[in-house]
Structure 1
Amino acid sequence: MDRPLLFLDVDGTLLPVGGDVPSVAWDESWQTDANPLLARLSPAHGPRLLALSCELVWATAWMADANELVAPRLGLPQLPVAELGEVPAAEDPSWSLSAAGAALSWKTRALVDQAAGRPFAWLDDEINDADRAWVDAHHSGPALLHRVDARHGLTERDFTVVREWLRGLSSQP
């Protein structure tokens, strides 16, 4: 049986953005070695993520740059990168609205397609109820959509939630 997938976001998840945020343009320069926020990555997260019984996959606007700039700082190997397509502009119609009026993440459909029924967890700071409802309606396997507090990034509580979810999967027949 394939191990569950763990889709990982970077900004706000592995890279906390709270507190005194240096003035950095959210453009091409954001995803370079010059980004001062990269110093906020916790090298302790790499071994903790690798210890989880799942397959790690980048699910981030950083795309393949996550392997060049984030993975080495965390001690992670090169990871697969989810095929998310282009990051849409906020006014793009692909930022569709759910029936409740909440925006569905531009990543949601792509991650469900990539999981193809396989169990997956998704750690991101922008997950909302519209994403959860869409995954519930369109994904045939177990899924954990866990919202991380962007001000702090991954915490012990977040790791506990994922470990318990994975443990629950392994106890299922």
Structure 2
Amino acid sequence: MTEPAQRPLLFLDVDGTLLPVGGATMPSTLEEWGQWQHHGNPQLAKLTPGHGPRLLALPCELVWATAWMHDANEVIAPLLGLPQLPVADLPDAPQEDVLDVLHWKTRALVETAAGRPFIWVDDEIGDLDREWVAAEHRGPALLHRVDSAVGLTHADIAALGDWLTEVSRRE
């Protein structure tokens, strides 16, 4: 008897993905990040509560992949109606954005997926990340970039659902 296939993973970013940053000034110091990742952050009003049920309806396992780390379960999950989610073990985010290099999350997410199909939803995914994942990951992967000014949309969630349906047909 063969083991049932594990559900694909969906690695979920927060800033620029679930929490649009259009018009907001992103934090640049650790002290500012502490304030940003707090219940009192006025930017939290930009979250779309309906995204929680839509994401939960997808045939995958949701995993936080964000600099918020465990704070995403404390602050973001309740506002979206999400349960406590696993948190990807990520390296520390760089203090400054560095262009034309592999994203700081890429290697860790491929390692966490360990060959399982996965989707990574983020506003900072680039071509180098796609090329590296295609070369290094043993299973199917979708790196879905979101426009940080508007965040995750219904069309994005539909695209994720379509990809998950296609992957399940192949297995």
Match of 1:4 in 2: 8
CA distance 1:144–1:24, change in 2 (3 Å): closer
Question: Deviation at 1:23?
Answer: 8.2
Partner of 1:21: 24
The C-alpha deviation readout for 1:114-169, integer Å capped at 9, x for no partner, is 00000000000000000000101110000000000001111121012101100101
SS in 2 for 1:154: coil
TM-score (structure 2 length as normaliser): 0.91
C-alpha displacement of 1:90 = 2.3
1:170 Cα deviation after fit: 1.2
- Deviation per residue, 1:17-66 (Å, 9 max, x gap): 11x33786642211011211111111100000000000000000000000
Partners of 1:22 and 1:36 within 8 A in 2:
no
Partner residue, 2:166 = 168
1:22–1:37 Cα contact (<8 Å) kept: no
Which of 111, 115, 119 is equivalent to 1:121? 119
Residue in 2 aligned with 1:146? 144
| Amino acid of the structure 2 residue aligned with 1:21 | A
C-alpha distance 65-155 of structure 1, shift in aligned 2 (>3 A): same
Structure 1 counterpart of 2:109: 111
Measured in 2, the distance between the counterparts of 1:171 and 1:131 equals 26
Distance 1:27 1:82 in 2: 19
Which amino acid in 1 is paired with 2:55?
L
Deviation at 1:5, TM superposition (A): 0.0
Aligned residue for 1:69, secondary structure, equals helix
TM-score (norm 1): 0.90
Aligned residues: 164
Structure 2 spans left out of the alignment, 5+ residues = none
